[in-house]
Amino acid sequence: MNPLLEVTGLDVDFDGRAAVRDVCLTLERGEVLGLVGESGSGKSATALAILGLLPGNAAVRGSVRLDGSELVGAGERELTRIRGSRVAMVFQDPLSAFTPVYRIGDQIAEAVRAHRDVPREQARSRAVELLDLVGIPEPALRARAFPHEFSGGMRQRAMIAMAMAAEPDLILADEPTTALDVTIQAQILDVLRAAQRATGAAVLLVSHDLGVIAGLADRVAVMREGRVVEQGTATEVFDRPRAPYTRQLLAAVPRIDTPRRPRPATGEPVLTVRGLTRTFPVHTGTVVRRRSGTVYAVDGVDLDVRRGETLALVGESGSGKSTTLFELLELTAPEGGSVELFGQRLGTLGRAEARALRRRIQIVFQDPMASLDPRMPVGDIIAEPLRAQGADRAVIARRVPALLAQVGLEPAHADRFPHEFSGGQRQRVGIARALSVEPELLVLDEPLSALDVSVQAEVLELLRRLKEELGLAYLLVSHDLAVVRNIADRVSVVYLGRTVEAGPVDEVFARPRHPYTQALLSAVPVPDPTRERHRTRILLPGDPPSPTRRYDGCRFRARCPLQADLTVDERKRCAHEVPEFEGDGAACHFARAREVL
Amino acid sequence: MMLQQEDWTISCVPFYLVKRLGYHAVLLLAAVCLSYLLASLALDPRAYYEGRQPPLSPSAVDHHLTALGVNDHQPLRDRFLHWADRAFLHGDLGETIDGTPVDAEFGRRIGVSLRLLLAGTVLGTVAGVLLGAWTAVRQYRPSDRAVTLASFALLSTPVFLLAVLLKTGAIWFNQATGTDLIQFTGERSPGADGGLWTALKDRSVHLLLPTLSVALFSVASYSRYQRSTMLDVLGSDYLRTARAKGLGRRAVLLRHGLRTALIPMSTYFSYGFLALFTGATFTETIFGWHGMGEWFVNSIGKNDVNSVVAVNVFAAVTVLLSGFLADLLHAALDPRIRRAAS
């Protein structure tokens, strides 16, 4: 009997440039094949080529056989018949993957009707069934919602529901969880597993995340520069990698379960934040604007950073991490709470003092392409903070080459433009710019999230070295807990604008005490198939609640896994008494350490 | 929670529209006042009467001016209040400088303008959208390049030149075929009689060239806008999703592509009507139609305050109605706006 899918000698060119070369894959019925690689490795192009969904500038050669029948070169009519019915796709960014003007339920019903001649009403009720199957609460109601009314996690569930519509034999999932937060990712991977079981479909899972692959794939193919460099069962590839590239990749990927023994910092405090709050008004009305609500973006954040120490601020999207950073960088009095920078309280400073303070705290931004002026040579970019501080020409001429060398770039490249550098090099430019005025505290806003694993490792190493050499303190904001474990000394967890737990990184990761921290850590996949499959996940139900309202008592209680085991009186306490955060430890009335890694 | 939102959205939409209408009414009032002020200050009806042959006595001039309510010896405030009183309370926009009622002239001219523009505008809009979408799908192919070239050639041709070219073409056609098939002067043949059918045919023949000249410009400009909005949509992820679902090419391009690419066009559509009104002055003159545009130019020449104000009121109503229609159309096309607006 033929394998379900047989790809042999697949080549893809975009405008004549090679993207995929000589890829051979086979997929048996009901099997999950993980296709892993860094950006530009050709993994997505491979998946799209199978269904003939590549854009018009792509040329495909080779052979893709589905149950023995050839798909490369097949007519559009033939491919249309197969798409959705025998092979379905789940795409990465679920907001842009739904047509914005149609209701979710109708779009799923459309997928049902594309292959089966059923009346509209019947297709609609099938859509509701499918939404129910992927765990969308009140599916009949939600089916009438438009894509923008769904959260990211719900949209991805709906996407999976749509893929299941015609009970396909093969689901191609292209980075299905990349745009999602880690606890939502855990939910979606669970749904994907359930969908696979329910339909018995084979899955081609494309991902850059080795942990996701380890948790789901039976077999793994590793791609690099358009070629498959290694292929085998998940345990073979992860435990006994043969290709040097796989070994390199596995060594480079930061792991959440590697203990580190950071030296406890003893320096004086550089940043002390207590009870920071920041709200934003919500306005309605076009002619007469009036305030109709409030977003409580930051609602009680505490932070302590000492000289020579890295504090990681972790939390999911919308938890107020970035708002906290930008509040600090304003260098003005916070809306609520107090901020002390280098012993000076913000809000009491004059202009000159604030200006002097500006030099001592600098930021590295997330997206190195968007945060560098594309029309400015990198030398000027790096010199700009110096100029703003009034440095003279001689100083600038001396500092710029030195800074470039310090971050591992060629000093002679100062007159090049940002687009002439790779992503990792651009981030180095961003770091050099921040370092130019010799700051003491560096704020790192998701500095690695736009980079590939192997580049991440290099930048991580650079940051570590700079900290040693220059005695810097880092305030790192990251959603990537594996990165946090590898660089941070201490960690502070925020949920819905409030600090819920803080402590030394090894302690918090090994023995988290707050149920939210436990859920967060348990959701992070580990690139180790054996361990990954035996971990117990603490799945949080639903999405984080809206920050536009204030919550009585503990704001986590609606999703808290501890609630089920509490007595009525204990639950009452959670509902009425806000758990206070007092220095290190967890802001939970019933905090109890639990190992989750 | 979702149910509440739904109900809320549905119940809020009419409220939102009523609010918008109220807002537009205020703007209309402001526009009317300002245009009365401007027309009264800029135009000099006294000069019109004084230049009459045979000359009128000063008292006769005063008498005429007072009867029209445009006597510059009276304070502007009184003139305006007098005019506003009649206009707002009785819907009476006064008399033209020749003594005929403005309202009657207004009604007649609107009818002419509508008959002249409606077919061309609708035809041009629909054809422009389709052509734009089609060329977007065929980006950079010879057909796309040819349409682009033709569109820009048309857009850079002044309307009077195009109209004259069309006329020349029609004359050549008529001579070549030895018939009078294409008529291009006025709305209908003078003295033609016969049944309803004959009249209808006669009018259609007269409409052919004006409609064509109006439609060609619409096609040229709309197809450019539509091509670019369609191109934005063609590269989008949701079209890929629609293909991955197994929808046919037509359904993907029309139901998911064009439908979404129409959203940003709604503003162009409604203001397009306005642009045609102002641009129609030439079309009217060249083809001998007596519509709003011609009236506007003529009344300025005659220093006819009441008529100029009337045309301005018409323009203001058109602008605001267009804006309102744009809002409606946008809300109808885009569910995201419905939520945000309410």
Interface mutation target, options A14, A51, A101, A113, chain B, most CBs of B under 10 Å? A101
A225: left (phi over 0), alpha (psi -120 to 50) or beta: left
pTM: 0.84
Which token pair is A95? 């907001």
Do A296 and A187 reside in the same domain of the chain? no
Q: Looking at the DSSP assignment, which residues form a beta bridge with residue A586?
A: A501
- Does position A424 have pLDDT exceeding 70, yes or no? yes
**H or E stretch at A35:** strand A32-36
% residues pLDDT > 70 (chain A): 99
Interface mutation target, options B241, B256, B259, chain A, most CBs of A under 10 Å? B241
Dist. CA A170–CA B150, nearest whole Å: 47
Dihedral over Cα of B240, B244, B250, B254: its sign: negative
CATH number assigned to the domain comprising residue A438 = 3.40.50.300
Dist. CA A255–CA A460, nearest whole Å: 13
Going by pLDDT thresholds of 50, 70 and 90, the confidence category of residue A29 is very high
The domains located in chain B, with CATH, are: 1-98+302-342 (no CATH), 116-295 (1.10.3720)
Q: Name the amino acid, one letter, at B128.
A: G
Closest CA to A256 of A503, A519, A485: A485
* b (16+ CB within 10 A) / e for A453-464: bebbbbbbebbe
CB contact under 8 A, B244 and A145: no
Instruction: Give the range of the structural domain holding residue A483, as residue numbers without chain letter.
Output: 269-521
- Structural domains in chain A (count): 2
Chain A contact set for B259 (CB, 8 A): 99, 101
**H or E stretch at B15:** helix B2-42
pLDDT in the model for residue B268: 83
Domain boundary among A219, A251, A283: A251
**H or E stretch at A475:** strand A473-478
Dist. CA B151–CA B128, nearest whole Å: 10
Number of alpha helices (DSSP H) and beta strands (DSSP E) in chain A? 21, 21
Task: Dump pLDDT digits (tens) for A273-292.
Answer: 999 999 998 876 655 667 77
CB atoms closer than 10 angstroms to residue A370: 11
Q: Name the amino acid, one letter, at B185.
A: T
Q: Is residue A281 part of a domain?
A: yes
Dist. CA A290–CA A300, nearest whole Å: 26
pLDDT along chain B (342 residues), means of 10: 39 68 88 91 89 85 87 88 87 86 89 86 93 94 94 91 90 88 79 77 87 91 94 92 92 94 87 67 86 88 91 86 84 76 43
Domain boundary among A460, A493, A521: A521
pLDDT in the model for residue B275: 64
Chain A nearest C-alpha distance from B121 (Å): 27
Q: How many CB pairs under 8 A join A and B?
A: 90
Do A459 and A493 reside in the same domain of the chain? yes
CB contact under 8 A, B248 and A80: yes
Q: Is residue A207 part of a domain?
A: yes
Q: How far is CA B145 from the centre of its chain?
A: 30
Residue A454 contacts residue A481 (beta carbons within 8 Å): no
CB contact under 8 A, B246 and A141: no
Task: Dump pLDDT digits (tens) for A49-58.
Answer: 999 999 888 9
Dist. CA A540–CA A113, nearest whole Å: 34
Dist. CA A64–CA B222, nearest whole Å: 42
Which token pair is B55? 């000359």
Domain boundary among A502, A521, A540: A521
- Higher pLDDT among residues A258 and A25, named by residue: A25
Do A289 and A338 reside in the same domain of the chain? yes
Q: Looking at the DSSP assignment, which residues form a beta bridge with residue A137?
A: none
Closest CA to A465 of A498, A492, A435: A435
Do A206 and A339 reside in the same domain of the chain? no
Residue A588 contacts residue A574 (beta carbons within 8 Å): no
Q: Is residue A259 part of a domain?
A: no
Q: Is residue A542 part of a domain?
A: no
Residue A65 contacts residue A2 (beta carbons within 8 Å): yes
| 3-class secondary structure, A330 | helix
Average pLDDT value for residue range A355-366 = 90
Dist. CA B341–CA A506, nearest whole Å: 49
> Sheet of A219-224: strands edge to edge?
A87-90, A170-174, A202-207, A32-36, A219-224, A227-233
Residue with token string 């045609």: B276
CB contact under 8 A, B245 and A162: yes
Chain B nearest C-alpha distance from A152 (Å): 15
Do A323 and A408 reside in the same domain of the chain? yes
Do A355 and A384 reside in the same domain of the chain? yes
Dist. CA A314–CA A321, nearest whole Å: 7
Average pLDDT value for residue range A489-500 = 94
Q: For chain A, what is the mean pLDDT? A: 91
Residue with token string 């007596």: B290
Q: Which residue from A82, A88, A142 is facing B2, i.e. has the nearest CB?
A: A142
Cβ-in-10-Å burial (0-12, 13-18, 19+) of A583 comes to exposed
Task: Dump pLDDT digits (tens) for A563-578.
Answer: 989 999 999 999 999 9
Q: Is residue A247 part of a domain?
A: yes
Do A192 and A85 reside in the same domain of the chain? yes
Q: Is residue A178 part of a domain?
A: yes
Which token pair is A231? 């292929």
Do A236 and A277 reside in the same domain of the chain? no
Q: Looking at the DSSP assignment, which residues form a beta bridge with residue A90?
A: A173
Q: Cα A74–A75–A81 angle (5° rounding)?
A: 95
Residue with token string 């600038």: A396
Do A239 and A302 reside in the same domain of the chain? no
Do A246 and A273 reside in the same domain of the chain? no
Do A238 and A185 reside in the same domain of the chain? yes
Q: Is residue A538 part of a domain?
A: no
Which token pair is A418? 């940002």
Closest CA to A312 of A496, A491, A487, A444: A491
**H or E stretch at B166:** helix B159-177
Q: Which residue from B19, B236, B249 is facing A96, i.e. has the nearest CB?
A: B236
Neighbouring residues of B138: CB distance < 8 A, sequence distance ≥ 6:
B144
Dist. CA B113–CA B292, nearest whole Å: 6
Q: Name the amino acid, one letter, at A138.
A: E
Do A194 and A323 reside in the same domain of the chain? no
Q: Is residue A203 part of a domain?
A: yes
Strands (E) in A57-148, as ranges, are: 58-66, 69-70, 87-90
* Helical pair A152-164 and A182-199, crossing angle rounded to 10 deg: 10
Q: Cα B192–B194–B199 angle (5° rounding)?
A: 70
